[in-house]
Each structure stands twice: as C-alpha cells, then as structure tokens.
C-alpha cells in the first residue's frame, strides 16, 4: 500500500506541478487587487483572443449623452468622448491613477446640475477642471456600481450600501440611506458566495486573505521541494563520493523534511481551498449556483446589512415613481423611497451568475436586462420577457442551465433615437436597431488599454488562458486540475503517514527486542 501511494504521488505530482504553481501564484495576486492595480500587461504578450477587436472584451459598458451631440463611452477602456458621428475619440481619463484597473468604469453619470461623476472599482470620482478628483465615501469597500441623478439628489450605490448627496452640499457630502431587506429574505446566503469567500479567505476579512496567501505559499513550497526530491537523485548518480555529493544529499534531505512538514500540517486547509475553488467555475458551479445556505456565524457573511455585497445596479422609473434595485439574487423595487421592505418581482428575466451588465429603462414599466445569459426586454406588469435578439418570448428552463448564453452581453448603448447596439464580450458590437455607427477601434483607444495584472491572473486562475489551445474544453481545466491536486494531496499525506507509522513500529520493535 505504501508503494502505491508513493508511486501515485510521485508521478501525478510531476504532471500537476505546473498547474498548481500557476493557480497558487495567480491566486495570491488575485487577493491583492488594489495594491497591484497600477501593474498592467501588454495585450501583445497574450493570445490573440485578448486583443481588442470590434469593441469586444467589455471595452464599453454604456454611454452617456452630455449636452449637444457629445457622447461619452465608458467601460474597461475608461472614459472617452466623441461626437454623434462616432469618428473621433478623445481621452477623458486624466486624473485617474496609473493602471487599467484604476480606470475601469462601472457607471457614469452626467447632469447639468451635478456635473460628471464616475464609479470605479475603488471609489467615486468627479470630473472637475479637466481632471478626475476622488470623493471619499464613508464605507469600507467603496466599489461603486451605480450613480443616479434624481431631481436634486445624487444617489451612489456601492456593492453593499446606498448613499445620497444633494446640491446644498455641492454633491460632496454623502449620507447613507438604510435600505430595508427584501420581502422574500430568508436570512441565508448563496452557496456560491460562501464557497467564494472561503476560497479567497475573505470570510475572515484581511486576516483570512493572508491565511489563504499562506496556503498559496505552501503550495509553491510543496511544488519546489517536490521537484528537488524528484530530480536530485538523478544528479547524485552522476556524482562521485565527495563534499559536493554530501552537500547535495543534505540539501535533498532538508528539502524533503520541509515538504513533509508543510504538507502534513496544512493538509486539511489545502484540501478545503482546492475543493471550494473547483466549484467556482463551470461545470461544478452550475449545481450550486442557486443553492442557499445558513450564514456562517462570526464571519464576514454574518453581516447585519441585509444587502451586504449584493447590490449590482439601480434604476428610477419616473412614470411609476419607483426605484428598481438589481442584486446578485434578483431584482427588487421600492415605491416608497426605501421606507419599507423591498419587494421582489414574481417573474424576472434570466441573469447570469456572473452578474447583470445592462439595466436600462425603455418605457413605462419596461426595461432592458442584459448579462452573459443574453439580453431581454422585460415588462414588469405582465412578466412578459422577450429575447431582444430573436424577438421571441423567453421561456424559463430552470436553474440548472449554463451561465453563458449564445450572446454574452457586456454592455449596451443607445446611440440615438433609432440606433441601439449591444457589446458582446467575445464578438463586440451587435446592432439591435438601426445601423452600427461605430468605426473600428482607433489605435489611440486600443494602445492605451492594456490588460491589468489582476485580470491576467484571473484568466490563468479560471483556466480561460488555455482556451486558444483547448477550445471549449478549457472549461474542464479547473475541475480536472482540482481533482488532480486533491489526488496528489491525499496520496502524499498517506505516503507520509504510512511511512511514519512504519518507522514508529520499527523503532518500537527494536526497543522491545533490546530489552530482552
């Protein structure tokens, strides 16, 4: 049995080492997005699929008209403005810190009353005197998902909170609106979210992320010491007895010692981290996407805020005097300006587990909802949902379907009264109505829009970086690499444990025989 575990561990480890190293290093970087936000990677160093073409890759999330025929586009490329002809594009990113991540725009709002505001991954910004200036929000995580002007009020929504500023403060002093829970609240959280925060360590805040970083370092240590133990014996065979051979043997013994100590002490945590990571990507993501579980006590999930990390978008329907709130678990509305509990719509359009990307009003009680599942026109009064591409009614197929549709909607823009286009993540612009007014992406836009180091590591960590080699089968990289890692950890532990037990038994027998 010991021989089986040793041989299995040896050869599976050798095959899985590269993947384990890639996942460990990229995982550590993913845990420190803000600290590394200034570091970018040239798209020329990446496979062709990572280069902009036809405004793809979430280059544009939306557009805002700003007086006359001026139009501002925003998204992963930052903020650029153009005229209605869409022929010349001008950079409007001065003032943002260096790094693509610092100018990824989730939402843009212009009003002749409050001016121009932008919401990024790291906070709220106001354009003033030709440059962006940050406005601090009284919140721990200032990731802004929506900015909305209603009358004299400027509403700013982060992933967990809703803030209000008025003209009397110059739209600089924000107070929080306490948003009541939903009428369907069960006090639980999503299993996907639970696995996510366990895998990243966020479940225990910054301390938990550092613990997961330590796990990544253990994985790296195990890979390096494992490779040393694998290759050194081949080198020893070529060396004659002498000082150099003794030093190499001593080094190999020390390396094996650290390999065993680190692996045996961290085994349970490494198994947990690997298992939760496997369920964060399809296909294992699909069965847990809609599951709900009790919040783990005394963790980041056990938050008194019913909307903690759940807000995704916000709309105001002036005709109905109604606020609509898109969350990670459905769309709600408030007819009393958040005085009472939010109400959920009984029938809702499909939204990918990856989140809502388009939420626009098209008429009284009619809205456009887009995500990686597709794009739909939704009438709240009747619940009728129509696919904007096929113009056919949408029929729900249950919660077990894939998280991606045939059209992966990353953005939407109404160019004029007769032209609407959507931005598919893979293929770029798809006209919905009218002709496409956009030219090819100008070199001044593509040349100033590299991929952030964080996103590069995300592509590695999710296995998408292997798509050019494996095609659609890249989706199996994470689960198969996860299973291989579990097998390596388990066989390695038992190889160590059985050998240790054998040594203890041998010593006991020798002591016993020596006593006679």
Q: Which domains does the chain have, with CATH numbers?
A: 53-185+306-448 (2.130.10.10)
Tokens of 91: 């950079």
Host H or E run for residue 285: helix 285-288
Written as six digits, the tokens of 41 are 């990677």
- Pull the structure tokens for residue 405: 């549709």
pLDDT of residue 400: 46
DSSP assignment of 127-184: EETTEEEEE--SSS---EEEEEEETTEEEEEESS-EEEEEGGGTT---EEE----BTT
> What span, in angstroms and rounded, lies between the C-alpha atoms of 330 and 332?
7
For residue 315, give the DSSP letter.
Answer: E
Please tell me the predicted confidence (pLDDT) of residue 397: 65
Tokens standing for residue 350: 């499909």
Residue (of 413, 342, 401) closest to 372 by Cα position: 401
Over its length of 516 residues, how does the chain's per-residue pLDDT go in tens digits?
889 999 999 999 999 999 999 999 999 999 999 999 999 999 999 999 999 999 999 999 999 998 788 899 999 999 999 987 788 999 999 999 999 999 999 999 999 989 999 999 999 999 999 999 999 999 999 999 999 999 999 999 999 999 999 998 889 899 999 999 999 999 899 999 999 999 999 999 999 999 999 999 999 999 999 999 999 988 888 888 888 888 999 999 999 999 999 999 999 999 999 999 999 998 999 899 889 999 999 999 999 999 999 999 999 999 999 999 999 999 999 999 999 999 999 999 999 988 999 999 999 999 999 999 999 999 999 999 999 999 999 987 655 445 677 899 999 998 876 688 999 999 999 998 878 888 899 999 999 999 999 999 999 999 999 999 999 999 999 999 999 999 999 999 999 999 989 888 887 766 766 655
- pLDDT number for residue 497: 95
Task: Give the residue carrying structure tokens 């690997």.
Answer: 274
The residue with tokens 């925003």 is: 74
Nearest to 74 by CA among 99, 107, 112: 107
* pLDDT value for 370: 96
* Nearest one of 393, 395, 424, 420 to 407, comparing CA atoms: 424
* DSSP calls for 1-13: -HHHHHHHHHHHH
Strand locations in 380-499 (E): 385-387, 409-416, 419-424, 428-433, 451-452
Neighbour-count burial for 171-200, b at 16+ CB within 10 Å, e otherwise = beebeeeebeebeeeeeebbbbbbbbbbbb
State the pLDDT at residue 176: 96
- Return the sign of the alpha-carbon dihedral for residues 491, 496, 497, 502: positive
* Most distant CA atoms of the chain, gap in Å: 103
> What is the rounded CA–CA span in Å between residue 69 and residue 80?
14
Q: How far apart are the C-alpha atoms of 324 and 162, rounded to whole Å?
A: 13
Helices and strands per DSSP (H, E), number in the chain = 9, 27
The pLDDT assigned to 255 comes to 95
Q: How far apart are CA 420 and CA 412, in angstroms?
A: 8
How are strands ordered across the β-sheet holding 428-433? 409-416, 419-424, 428-433
For helices 477-514 and 2-30, give the axis angle rounded to 10 degrees. Answer: 130
Beta-carbon count within 10 A of 319 CB: 9
Using an 8 Å Cβ cutoff, are 289 and 403 in contact? Answer: yes
What is the distance between the alpha carbons of residues 30 and 488, in angstroms, rounded to a whole number? 24
89, two tokens: 């594009």
């Amino acid at each position: 049995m010991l021989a089986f575990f040793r041989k299995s561990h040896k050869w599976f480890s050798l095959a899985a080492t590269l993947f384990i190293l890639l996942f460990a290093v990229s995982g550590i970087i993913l845990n420190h997005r803000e600290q590394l936000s200034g570091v970018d990677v040239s798209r020329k160093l990446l496979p062709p699929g990572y280069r902009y073409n036809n405004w793809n890759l979430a280059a544009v999330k939306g557009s805002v008209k700003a007086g006359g025929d001026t139009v501002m586009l925003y998204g992963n490329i930052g903020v650029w403005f153009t005229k209605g002809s869409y022929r010349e594009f001008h950079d409007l990113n001065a003032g943002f810190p260096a790094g693509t991540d610092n100018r990824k725009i989730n939402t843009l709002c212009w009003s002749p009353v409050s001016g121009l505001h932008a919401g990024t991954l790291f906070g709220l910004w106001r354009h003033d005197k030709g440059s962006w200036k940050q406005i601090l929000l009284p919140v721990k995580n200032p990731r802004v998902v929506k900015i909305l002007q209603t009358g004299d009020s400027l509403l700013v929504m982060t992933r967990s909170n809703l803030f209000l500023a008025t003209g009397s403060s110059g739209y600089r002093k924000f107070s929080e609106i306490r948003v009541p829970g939903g009428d369907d609240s069960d006090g639980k959280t999503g299993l996907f979210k639970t696995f996510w925060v366990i895998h990243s360590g966020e479940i225990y805040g910054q301390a938990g992320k550092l613990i997961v970083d330590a796990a990544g370092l253990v994985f790296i240590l195990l890979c390096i010491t494992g490779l040393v133990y694998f290759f050194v014996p081949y080198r020893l065979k070529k060396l004659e007895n002498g000082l150099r051979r003794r030093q190499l043997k001593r080094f190999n013994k020390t390396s094996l010692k650290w390999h065993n100590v680190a692996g045996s002490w961290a085994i349970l945590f490494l198994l947990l981290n690997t298992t939760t990571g496997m369920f964060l990507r399809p296909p294992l993501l699909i069965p847990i996407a809609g599951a709900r579980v009790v919040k783990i006590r005394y963790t980041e999930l056990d938050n008194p805020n019913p909307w903690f990390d759940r807000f995704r978008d916000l709309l105001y329907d002036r005709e109905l005097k109604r606020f609509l709130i898109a969350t990670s678990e459905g769309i709600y509305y408030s007819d009393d300006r958040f005085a009472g509990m939010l109400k959920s719509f009984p029938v809702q359009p499909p939204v990918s587990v990856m989140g809502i990307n388009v939420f626009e009003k098209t008429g009284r009680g009619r809205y456009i909802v887009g995500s990686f599942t597709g794009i739909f026109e939704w009438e709240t009064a009747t619940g009728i949902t129509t696919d904007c591409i096929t113009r056919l009614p949408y029929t729900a197929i249950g919660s077990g379907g894939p998280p991606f549709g045939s059209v992966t909607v990353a953005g939407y823009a109404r160019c004029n009264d007769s032209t609407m286009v959507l931005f598919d993540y893979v293929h770029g612009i798809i006209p919905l109505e009218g002709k496409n007014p956009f030219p090819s992406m100008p070199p001044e836009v593509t040349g100033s829009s590299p991929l952030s180091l964080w996103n590069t590591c995300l592509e590695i960590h999710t296995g998408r970086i292997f798509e050019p080699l494996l095609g659609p089968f890249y989706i199996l990289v994470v689960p198969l690499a996860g299973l291989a890692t579990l097998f390596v950890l388990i066989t390695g532990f038992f190889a160590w444990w059985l050998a240790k037990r054998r040594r203890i038994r041998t010593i006991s027998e020798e002591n016993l025989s020596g006593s006679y």
